[in-house]
Structure 1
Amino acid sequence: MTLASSAGPAPATPPTHAPARPGPAASHPPAGSRLARRAGGILRSGAVQAVLVVVGLVWLTPTVGLLVSSLRPGAQEDSSGWWTAFTHPSTLTFSNYSHLLDNGDITHAFWNTVLISVPATAAVVVIAALAGYAFAWLEFPGRDAVFLIVVGMLVVPVQIGLLPVARFFGAIGIFGSIYGVILFHVAYGLPFAIFLLRNYFAEIPREMLEAARMDGGSEWTIFTRLILPVGRPALASLTIFQFLWVWNDLLVSLIFADSHSQPLTVALQSQMRQFGANIDVLAPGAFLSLIVPLIVFFAFQRHFVEGVMAGSVK
Structure 2
Amino acid sequence: MSSTRKQPLTVFGKHFTVFLLVALWTLPTLGLLISSVRDKDQLTESGWWTSMSSTDLTDAYRTPEAQAQESVDGQFVITDSIFEQSQGQRVKSWSLSPRDLGAYGPGETVTLDNGSEMTLQEDGTLRWTNSEAFEHSRGERVFYTAAVPPRFTLDNYAEVLEAEGIGRAFINTMTVTLPATFIPILIAAFAAYALAWMKFPGRLWILALIVGLLVVPLQISLIPVLRMYTNLGNTFGIEPKSYPGIWLAHTAFGLSLAVYLLRNYMSGLPKEVMESARMDGASHFDVFRTIVLPLSVPALASFAIFQFLWVWNDLLVALVFLGKGEGKTVMTAQLVELLGSRGDNWEILTAGAFITIIVPLIVFISMQRFFVRGMLAGSVKGG
Displacement of 1:309 after TM fit? Answer: 4.5
Q: Which residue of 2 aligns with 1:212?
A: 277
Give the TM-score, by structure 2 length.
0.66
Give the deviation of 1:189 after TM superposition: 0.3
How far is the alpha carbon of 1:253 from its aligned partner? 1.4
Match of 2:143 in 1: none
3-state DSSP of counterpart to 2:45: coil
Return 5+ residue gaps in structure 2 as ranges.
Answer: 55-148
Contact 2:242–2:322 under 8 Å retained in 1? yes
Distance 1:211 1:292 in 2: 42
Q: Are positions 1:81 and 2:47 aligned together?
A: yes
User: Which is strand-richer, 1 or 2?
Assistant: 2
C-alpha separation in 1, matches of 2:209 and 2:185: 19
Residue identity over aligned pairs, in percent, reads: 44
Distance 1:51 1:142 in 2: 47
Q: What secondary structure is seen at the aligned counterpart in 2 of 1:300?
A: helix
Residues 214 and 256 in structure 2, CA contact (< 8 A), matched pair in contact too: yes
Are the counterparts in 1 of residues 36 and 351 from structure 2 also a CA contact under 8 Å? Answer: yes
Q: Does 1:158 align with 2:218?
A: yes
Moved more, 54-63 or 68-77: 54-63
For residues 73-93 of structure 1, give each alpha carbon's deviation from its aligned partner in whole angstroms, at most 9, with x where no partner exists.
Answer: 222232212211032584111
Aligned partner letter, 2:44:
D
Matching residue of 2:151: 91
TM-score by length of 1: 0.80
Matches for 1:7-156 after TM superposition, within 5 Å: 45-46=11-12, 48-88=14-54, 90-103=150-163, 105-156=165-216
- The structural deviation recorded for 1:105 is 2.4
Moved more, 79-88 or 244-253: 79-88
Q: What's the CA shift for 1:262?
A: 2.1
Q: RMSD between aligned alpha carbons?
A: 2.3
Instruction: Name structure 1 gaps, 5 residues minimum.
Output: 1-37
Partner SS state of residue 46, structure 2:
coil
Pick from 243, 258, 266: which aligns with 1:201?
266
- Give distance in 1, aligned partners of 2:351 and 2:164: 15
Cα displacement string for residues 61-118 of structure 1 (whole angstroms, at most 9, x for unaligned residues): 2111111111112222322122110325841111111112213622121111101110
Is the CA contact (8 Å cut-off) linking 1:135 and 1:143 kept in structure 2?
yes
Counterpart for residue 237 of structure 1: 302
CA contact (8 A) 2:298 2:374 kept: yes
- Paired with 2:283 and 2:228, the residues of 1 have a C-alpha distance of 39
Closer, same or farther: CA 177–62 of 1 in aligned 2, 3 Å: same
The verdict on how the C-alpha distance between 1:145 and 1:157 changes in structure 2, with shifts beyond 3 A counting, is: same
Q: Which digits, 9 at most, give the CA deviation of each residue in 1:198-225, with x for residues without a partner? A: 1111111221111011112111110011
Q: Does 1:250 align with 2:250?
A: no
Residue 227 of structure 1 pairs with residue 292 of structure 2 = yes
| Distance 1:104-1:85 versus aligned 2 partners, 3 A rule | closer
Does structure 1 retain, via aligned residues, the 8 Å contact 2:318–2:330?
yes
Q: Does 1:276 align with 2:343?
A: yes
Which of 291, 298, 305 is the aligned partner of 2:372?
305
Bigger share in helix: 1
- Mean Cα deviation higher: 247-256 or 268-277: 268-277
CA distance in 2, matches of 1:46, 1:180: 52
1:199 partner letter:
N
Query: Distance between the aligned counterparts of 1:233 and 1:48, measured in 2?
Result: 26
Letter in 2 for 1:53: F
- Between the aligned partners of 1:141 and 1:156, the Cα distance in structure 2 is 25
Distance apart, 1:46 and its partner CA: 4.1
Output one character per residue of 1:113-171: Cα deviation in whole Å (capped at 9) or x when no partner.
10111001001111111000000111122222222222211111100122222233333
Choose the corresponding residue for 1:287, options 345, 354, 365: 354
SS of aligned partner of 1:56: helix
Residue type matched to 2:18 in 1? L
Partner of 1:180: 245
Deviation of the 1:280 alpha carbon: 3.4
Q: Match for 2:357: what amino acid? A: L
> Helix, strand or coil for the counterpart of 1:45?
helix
Aligned to 1:31: none
- Residue pair 1:200, 1:234 contacting (<8 A) in 2 also: yes
